[in-house]
Every structure is written in structure tokens, then in C-alpha cells.
Structure 1
Amino acid sequence: MKTSSAFLTGGTASGSGKTTLTIGIMAALKARGLSVQPFKCGPDFIDPSLHRMVTGKISSNLDLRMCGREFCRDTFNFRFNGNDVAVVEGVMGLFDGGIASSAALAKELELPVILIVDASSAAESVAAIVKGFESFSPDVEIAGVIFNRVGSPRHRELIEKSMAGICKAQILGFFPRDIRFEIPDRHLGLHMGEEKPLNEVQLKQLVLAVEKHIDLDQLLQISRRTQAAEQEMFVANASIAKNVRLAVARDEAFCFYYEDNLKMLEAEGAELVFFSPLSDTALPADCKGIYFGGGYPELHAERLSENQAMRQAVNDFARSGGIIYGECGGFMYLCDRIETTGQQSHTMCGIFPFAVQMKTRLSRLGYRKPCLVADCFLGRRGQHLHGHEFHYSEIVGSTVGTPTLYQIDADIVEGYTFKNVIGGYLHLHFARNRELSKSFISELTGSQIITKTT
């Protein structure tokens, strides 16, 4: 059994600087030559891309509510195995979210918590905050604390004196205020890792700052643990034909995918073929289905609209009976048009006969557990799916006449359908219902629709 280090970084609240410090710690540990395996608590798509930016490794979402306890434990052990350090970034404040909270995940995985405290507007009072977090749930081990946005040596001195003899957590560092390390954001959150929100110079500066202001040696020491026995995940299903080509839209407009969903599809026999609705003019050859994930189609609506050849190819594929699954941003692309907050209207694929309109405020947010009301390529009637919804757009115009597959609440339906197309705002995670990925690929195997050669 290999002895390594593993911990969860938690904040006292959103905006504490958790993400910046987490990726800084990951980058600094990697710069030391350690193999760092990242994870993200919760349904977030953006933070895992930042983790991958600095570690080069896939960051799995560990969400007890959406993915279930078994999947979270098994995925953590599977990806951690063989690495030197596992870093799980928490979500919101440490105890926010009930069963889906960072604290609940830390308990489930038996991880010590490194608490990040924004000290910018307080001094001695931060000791009361740390003490409160320590006593709120004694079975959550707050092993260390990092004070962020510390303004001066005097500020640090006041915090140290107030902590002495009061709090059990070890002080691991005092990180200064520094706008050079702030990651730009927009309506759905921080910029994606693929967009390089921190350039190479900034990342090097961040690593140097972490090494200077955070005691990484002590952090690694207090989070030592023995890895679990080797765990198998995403084992290929030998009973299903292999190399069923599934086109997956992936570019600046479509970039929100749970990486483990893609792994589950591959395990069921899918050969994933990535393409760009922004740049390509035809679908990949010989594909039996298309998967449109979420992202930022509203930011690229003009380019998506101008690529008439791709929109026509998708429309033709749908009308010929091709299997298409689109969620959130992908669903928006399948609609008739996108209307921006600037009152501009951009034509999309027109598979669903209504528009979506961007709003300046969040439209819907939260976990969803839809029940299928009819058989489809995602499963059978009566099965429950699990996912999350987070978007700034709304459907405009009537949806009457467009069938739906998801019953969410007594008066809320979703999962719009047209022939073999399913689209909606929900981001589904396949972990708690593995029949979903099996059913999806099984339907593709029997599909007679084949795309034209590019």
C-alpha cells in the first residue's frame, strides 16, 4: 500500500479565494515533481477545467447527492491510486449543501479539511470563525487553516495571537492580497481552464507565492494516508459491440461535460469523435449519434448561426431519425434561435420550434431527479435520472405540441423530444443510473443512421 497525502480544501463561504489557492497548491506540488490528482466537490464544470490546466489530469466531480456514495468512494480511490497527492476542492462554504456539502464529502472519504478563511475584513474575529467551524461538526477534521488576503505583517500578528490556544487547526499560511492571481469571471462563473485565464507568467508567480506563504511540507504531513486497494472503474462491457462512433461537440461554445460520463459511454462501446459546431462544416463520418454538452453558445451565437452548413447537417441528421442528446447549451443550439441580452436574434438548428432568450439574472439553479415518462434511448419509463440545472436563459414562445420525457415535479416537465432527439436544460450525470449509458450506446448500436463523409 502506497502512503500519500489527501485533503479537501474548504471555504468559510463562496468568494473566499478557495479556487485560486487550490489551483496554486496543486501547481506548486506539481512543480515539486509530485503527481497530483484533482477532484471537485459538486456539479461544477469550470473548476475541474482549471484543475486540469495545472495538473494535466482529469478532475472528477464527486457529488454525493447526484452521483451517490459508492461512485464517489470508488472514483476517488480509482483516480487517487498511484498518485502522490489527492486534492479535493470543496464547494461554497464548507457546510453548505446538506448531503452534497464539502463537509459531508470529507466525512465520507475520511479526508482532513484545509479551511480557507478570507481575512480581508477582519483580524482577531477570524479565530472565532475557525473555532465555530471546528465545533459545528466535531466529526469533520479541520486539520489546517490558510488565511487569505492578509494585508500586512501587523494583520498577520493579530490573527496569530487570536488563534493561539483557542483553535486546534494548524495555521498553514497567510496569503497576501494580490490581484495578479484573480481569475476573470462571467455569468456562469470563472473562465475555463482551456481559455488560459492565468498565463504561464502568472502561474509561475502563483507557485512562488504559494511556496513562500504556505507551509506545503506541513500540509503534506498532516494529510498523510494509506491508499486503498487498487480499484477498477469504467470497465469495458464485453457484451456490447465496440467502436460505435458517437460525435461529441467540443469547442469554446460546448465545453461542459462530466468527464466520467464520457468514460462510461466509452466503457459501453462508444468511440467518441470530437467535432466543433463553430468551425467544422460537416458532422464526423459514420457516426450513429450526436452528444451536445453545455457551455457558452450565447457567447458564440453569431458564429454558430453563420455556420449554416453545420446547422443544416444537424437538422438533416435529426429529421432522418438520428439519435441526438443535447443538454443546456447543447439544447439551446438545437432550438430555433438564441436571443441575446442585447436584443439580437441568431438562428440555430431549428429542431425544437421555440427560441431561448438570455436573461441578466439566473433563471434556474438546483439538483433535479427527473422520472422518465416514456421509453427512450436514455432508459425506460419509470426510471429516475440524476442531474443539475444552472442557466441564465429561458424558453420564449409556446412549447405546446412538443412532447416531453422528464417529469420533475407535479407541474414541471422537461426533456423535449423530436423523433430521436432529446434536449433540455438538465445536465445529467450517469453515475447513479448506469443503465443510462448502457441504453444510450445500445440504441446507437442498432441505429441505421450514418452521417455523410466529411
Structure 2
Amino acid sequence: MVSARAVLIAAMASGQGKTTVTAALARSLVRAGQRVRVFKCGPDFIDPMLLERACGAPVHTLDLWMVGIDECRRRLDEAAREADAILVEGVMGLYDGTPSAADLARAFGIPVLAVIDASAMAQTAGAVARGLRDYGPVQLAGVIANRVASTGHAQMVAQSLRDIALVGALPRQSEALPERHLGLALPHELPRLDALLDELADALQLDDAAWQALPAFEAQDSAPAPAVPPLLAGRTIAIARDAAFAFLYPSNLDTLRLLGARLAFFSPLANEAVPETADAVYLPGGYPELHAQTLAGAERWRASIGAAFAANLPILAECGGMMVLAEEITDPDGGRWPMAGLLPGVVRMQARLAGLGAQALGTPAGVLRGHTFHYSRFETPLAPSLHTVRHPAGTPGEAVYCAGSLTASYFHGYFPSNPEAVALLFTEGGAWPAP
């Protein structure tokens, strides 16, 4: 059987250093000549961008609900055939969420490598590790102690683990990966990113014997993915992509191509117009609030999206994409910036999280799964055409606004979950009644 060493890198909570450790381990293995594939558990746009830089290969999402168990299996089997090591970064705490990172690990028999922030503890690390192992339980392959102060500190952690291996330790770093309200800073904003990744790899104290002792993940003959009908053949979809519109799943782009669409990228931040060849427009999420002044002055872009709307081109606007179509954005400092004005109302940034979690959008072609994550609210007189549904609660989620051929919401769709529904969005504009 073809196999690869595989671990799910998890922790007791967010903020323990999962991404830093995953990036350090990926870069360390790559520099040692290993072929490495990295996945992210649960919905996330930013961590995968950084991890892609660390390992040199696209980072896809694994999620038992949003992606589905069959597609997760196909992704893992493909990685096992192509790579020497598979790293899956968990989400939040190991047991948080429905489904959780622990559920994913158990579904595929992937051992867990626990990241423990040891900066304010020593022997208690053993209690944390045993609790993470036994609560579920999960197959705990070992621990990586993060932010250790010294070799002696690492030794105290190792002794506390008893029958659990200390696979590695990462000392406290003088330079951390910068964060903001939606997570880490974007890779293009970090000119020293590759140097920082190399420094993290240099600092990682990996016990090679313990790493080599980890069990292998064996590839199976998983069923092929269902065929995607070419429902968008001959159509060109213009996609905004720059620092303000960076939240794009690679799998979403793959799905559009499988549907037969031609993709044409453009940058509103560079004041580029919607391409004249476009048959539809996709405005993904990102950080428009950080670039509101530039977007407010991008008259060519604003005129072109207005013309596309007037011409009844289907427009799908997700989260940040919806924000720029409002009349105004109030940025985190209270500045007020005019936007495209296709939707009546204003967007106001706030310090408190406004929406988070898995959600589903009902369409005439079935359910499109996805999620939401935002720190702003949209104040509009426009009545929602429908609402998404929160998973697993089943309660109403994000408002979905349909105006002519425009569909806008804070909801981020995961296109592979229902390609037919996606095709409908880009051919009929999504202005449908709730099914």
C-alpha cells in the first residue's frame, strides 16, 4: 500500500500556536527533502495561504460537514500517494465544533499531535496532554511544546508527559506571525515571511526518532468524485482578486473551471474595471475595510460594477464583496467611505464578532454549504430574500439579499458542495425564492 506519515496538529484552544508549529514543521520537512502536503481543518482562508508558502503546495480544506467525508477521503488518499508527510492543522480546540478536529482525526484514523503552549506552565503540560488524549478519546501521537523558555523547560515538559512522546519543542520567538481581527496577516503583507518561516524551521527542535515512529496513513482506492456537468461552458466569470478580495478557496476556482467557465481576474484596488468579456462577476470576501479609502477613489472600478449590474450580469458578492456594494463603509477608525451603492445601506465595522460558524444556503438546485465570519454589520432597508441556515442548530443564519441579478450575503459558499447551485448563481443571478 502507498502511505505517508500523517498527523493532525491540534491544541486545547485557539492561540496556542497551531499555525506557527504547522508552518515550522512543514518548512522543516520540505528543507529536509520531504514532499509535504498540508490541509486545514474547518473553514479558513488565511491560514492556508501562509501554510502554502511553508510547504510549496496548495492547501485545501478538510471538513466532515462542509467538504463531506467522501471528498475528504479522496483528498487524503491523493496526498498519501503524492507526499511523504501529511499535516492537517486543526481548528480552535481539539474537541470544539460539530464536527470537531477530533471527529476528523477519528474518521480517518489520523493520529493527533498536540501543540501545548508551555510559556506559563511546566509539569502541568502532562495533565493537558492526557486530558486531550482521553476526553474523546483520540490517538495521541505526541506533543510539540510551543514557546519553551529553555532546554531545561522542555525537559520538564517531557518528563510530565509520562507515556506520551515529546515529538518537538519550539522556543519563544522574538518575532511572531502578525494577526488582526480575522486572523493572521496576509502573506503578501509580510515581506520577511519566507525568512521568518526558515527561522521557525531552524528553531524547531524535532525529535527525529519520535517523528519517524509515527504511524503511516495508507491510501485507499477511494471512489472517484462525481462528474461535474459543464453548466457554465462558454461563460467568462470575472473574479475580483487582490488584497481586499483575497478570501478564495482554491477548490471554488477548481469547481468553476470544472463547470466549464473561463476565469478572468481583475483588481478593484488597482482601479481595474470588470473585464468587458465577463458574463458574470464574483466578488469574494477579504479586507475591504482596510482599503476603503483606495476603493472609494477607484472610480473606474465603481463605474464598471455599476454598469455590470445595469446590464443584468449575474453578480455573486460574498461578505467583503457585499460590503463594497453598499453605499458606504465605516472603517475601524470611524472613517466613512463611499462604495458602489448597488445596495442601499451602510456597513459598520465593530470590535465584537458579528457572525461565525457553518451555514447552508438553500437553492432550487439543493443546499450549498459554507460558513460565515465577520466583524461588521450591514444596516439596510432592503428586506432579505431568504436566510441561510446555521449548522447544526437549524436556526436562521445570514440574510441573503437579491436585487435584480445580484446575490449578496455575508455567507461564504464552498462551491464543491453543490456545483449545480453555483452554476445557477452565475447564470440566473441567484434571485430565487426560498425553496
Whether 1:327 and 2:322 are equivalent positions in the alignment is no
Question: Do 1:236 and 1:266's aligned partners in 2 also have CA atoms closer than 8 Å?
Answer: no
TM superposition shift of 1:127: 1.0
Q: Deviations over 1:181-216 (max 9, x none)?
A: x10011111112233364333222212112xx1124
Indicate whether 1:228 and 2:208 are aligned.
Answer: no
**Would you say the 8 A contact 2:325–2:343 is kept in 1?**
yes
Alignment equivalent of 1:186, drawn from 173, 180, 184:
180
SS, match of residue 344 in structure 2: strand
Structure-2 change in CA distance of 1:115 and 1:313 (3 Å):
same
Q: What's the counterpart of residue 385 of structure 2?
A: 404
Alignment of 1:214 with 2:197, yes or no, is no
Secondary structure of the residue that 2:303 maps to in structure 1? helix
CA distance 1:241–1:370, change in 2 (3 Å): closer
**Could you say if the C-alpha distance between residues 269 and 441 of structure 1 is closer, same or farther in structure 2, counting changes exceeding 3 Å?**
farther
Partner SS for 2:317: strand
The letter of the residue matching 2:82 is G
Task: Give CA deviations for 1:33-91 in whole Å, capped at 9, x if unaligned.
Answer: 22211100011111100111122211111112222222222233234432222111001
Cα distance in 1, alignment partners of residues 207 and 397 from structure 2:
50
Aligned to 1:177: 172
Q: Which amino acid aligns with 1:29?
A: L
**Alignment-derived partner of residue 375 in structure 1:** none
Equivalent residue, structure 2, for 1:450 = none
C-alpha deviation, 1:411, in angstroms: 6.4
Runs of 5+ consecutive residues of structure 2 not aligned to the other structure: 430-435
**Which amino acid in 2 is paired with 1:347?**
P
1:123-165 CA distances to partner (integer Å, 9 max, x unpaired)?
Answer: 1111111111221123x2101111111112332332233223x
Q: Which runs of 5+ in 1 are unaligned?
A: 373-378, 445-454
Query: Where do residues 24-423 of structure 1 align in structure 2 (5 Å cutoff)?
Result: 24-99=24-99, 101-138=100-137, 140-164=138-162, 167=163, 169-180=164-175, 182-196=176-190, 198-210=192-204, 213-216=205-208, 218-229=210-221, 232-233=224-225, 237=229, 240=231, 242-372=233-363, 379-380=364-365, 383-400=366-383, 403-406=384-387, 408=389, 414-423=399-408
Cα offsets for 1:349-393 (capped at 9, x unmatched): 111011111112211222222334xxxxxx44xx33322111111
The answer for the alignment partner of 1:449 in structure 2 is none
Decide whether aligned partners of structure 1 residues 235 and 272 sit closer, same or farther in structure 2, where only a CA change above 3 A counts: farther
Q: How far is the alpha carbon of 1:217 from its aligned partner?
A: 5.1
Query: 1:76–1:438: structure 2 CA closer, same or farther, 3 Å change rule?
Result: farther
Residue pair 1:234, 1:264 contacting (<8 A) in 2 also: no
Which residue is 2:433 aligned to? none
Residue 186 of structure 1 aligns to which amino acid in structure 2?
R
TM-score by length of 2: 0.91
Residues 208 and 231 of structure 1: CA distance in aligned 2, closer, same or farther (over 3 Å) = farther
Contact kept? 1:149, 1:175, Cα under 8 Å: yes
Q: Sort the Cα spacing of 1:11 and 1:347 in 2 relative to 1 into closer, same or farther, 3 A.
A: same
3-state DSSP of counterpart to 1:247:
strand
Which string of whole-angstrom CA distances, capped at 9 and with x for unpartnered residues, describes residues 257-291 of structure 1? 12111111110101111110111432223110110
Deviations 1:332-359 (A, max 9, x none): 0111111113222111111101111111
SS at match of 2:200: helix
Structure 2 CA distance, aligned partners of 1:80 and 1:246? 33
Pair 1:413–1:259, CA change in 2 (3 A): closer
8 Å Cα contact 2:53-2:194 kept in structure 1: no
RMSD: 2.2
